[in-house]
Chain A
Amino acid sequence: MTPDALDPGCGRTLEELSDYLSAGSSPDSLHMDNCPQCQAALAALRRLHTLTGQLLESDLHQAGSTDEPWFRSIMDNLRLETKAGRSIALAGAHPDDDLSETEGAVVALIRTIGDTVHGATIGKCRFNGNLETPGAPIGIEVNVTALWGERLPDLANTLRQTLAQALARHTELNVDDIDIAITDLGVVSPGSKGNGTAP
């Protein structure tokens, strides 16, 4: 069998997915319910909605604006992640095995794992290196929005360790560097459900 060409991605836009999330229905729902890229983007949108719900009202007002840099950055990256991306080879037990995982799946894993770390919300996430060459050294750049009141070095260390564990478990990538940059700070309302500390 000739190996299939690179996954072209599903082609749905973030706007379509956001509409689906808001309305709960779409003429394209059959696809969205069965597409891993759409599912990952929808999950990330849900988490983003949770974050915005935790911000102070003043920040929330700004967050609703597409001119707000951190919000626009996260949305831009989610838009990229609706694509499956490159195919990352996995070692097979049989010579005719053709095993892989998608770049989109790994990026979504990083975002999901990172978002579980208290005080962190993942923004940009990029791989540096040749993902398609087994064993090639890979660097990962992760931008993070941190909640005000977190000790940032501790947050970065926890995040780096958590991501390294998840990547070691679920990929065969040779990750030699996880570069974490705190690019924004958010403030949690004292009355919100978030666990962050108000200043």
Chain B
Amino acid sequence: MSTADQLHRLVLSVPGVAAVYPADPAWRAPMNRLGAVMAPGTSAPEPELVRLRMDGSTAHVRIRVGASGDVPAPELARRIAAEIRATLGTETEMEAGAIAVQICSIAAVPSVPRKAEPTPSPATAPTATTRPSMQS
């Protein structure tokens, strides 16, 4: 398992993380448009979920996550960064450099009764990068 995969699993296991999104928000856009013209049906590469850049032995990490709403989002970002630093320091020979964590969505944990909501469409269910326990 690569270090990026290891970090992906680690972040998904942090309480309060609902999903990990592609590190590059514009991923696939050029491939989509090109692919539609050049080779319909061609699959695009999988998104890079954890951006890991090495500078000598120093690892710089960027990750974008969705928050479940159970944990305050700022606290969640700090927990994730701390977990990444700890893992890099103890389970690899890398030194942690800049750790960028961006919260890209925050699920609402209602304090008042919710209105009736429609049955979620398959089109709106996050897929492979979502915590299994968080899937609806």
* A interface residue numbers (CB < 8 A to B): 1, 3-4, 7-11, 20-21, 23-37, 39-40, 42-43, 46-47, 49-50, 84, 87, 90-94, 96-102, 104-106, 108-109, 112-113, 115-118, 158, 162, 165-166, 169-172, 193-195
Contacts and interface: CB of A to CB of B under 8 A. Distances in A.
Contacts of B98: 1, 3, 96-98
A96 B97 CA distance: 7
A165 B25 CA distance: 29
Contacts of A33: 123, 125-127
B25 A9 contact: yes
B103 A101 contact: yes
Given A1-B100, A10-B25, A92-B81, 19 more contacts: A1-B97, A4-B62, A7-B102, A9-B25, A26-B123, A31-B32, A32-B123, A33-B123, A34-B126, A90-B74, A90-B78, A96-B96, A96-B97, A96-B99, A97-B98, A99-B81, A112-B108, A165-B111, A166-B108
A141 to B, nearest CB: 20
7 contacts: A31-B32, A34-B129, A93-B82, A101-B77, A105-B104, A109-B106, A171-B73
Give chain B's interface residue range (CB within 8 Å of chain A): 35 or more
A2 B62 CA distance: 11
Contacts of B69: 170
Nearest to B77: A99
B26 interface: yes
A24 B123 contact: yes
Contacts of B116: 50, 193-194
A110 to B, nearest CB: 9
Contacts of A49: 118
Nearest to B103: A101
B96 A113 contact: no
B115 A116 contact: yes
A24 B53 CA distance: 37
A29 to B, nearest CB: 7
Given A96-B98, A105-B103, A43 B124 contact: yes
Interface in B20-61: 21-22, 25-29, 32, 36, 44, 47, 53, 55, 60
Which residue among B19, B29, B105 has the maximum number of chain A CB atoms within 10 Å of its CB? B105
B22 A28 contact: no
B112 A162 contact: yes
Contact of B104 (A99, A104, A166): A104
Given A112-B108, A165-B111, A50 B118 contact: yes
A69 B106 CA distance: 29
A46 B74 contact: no
Which residue among B112, B113, B124 has the maximum number of chain A CB atoms within 10 Å of its CB? B124
Contacts of A24: 121-123
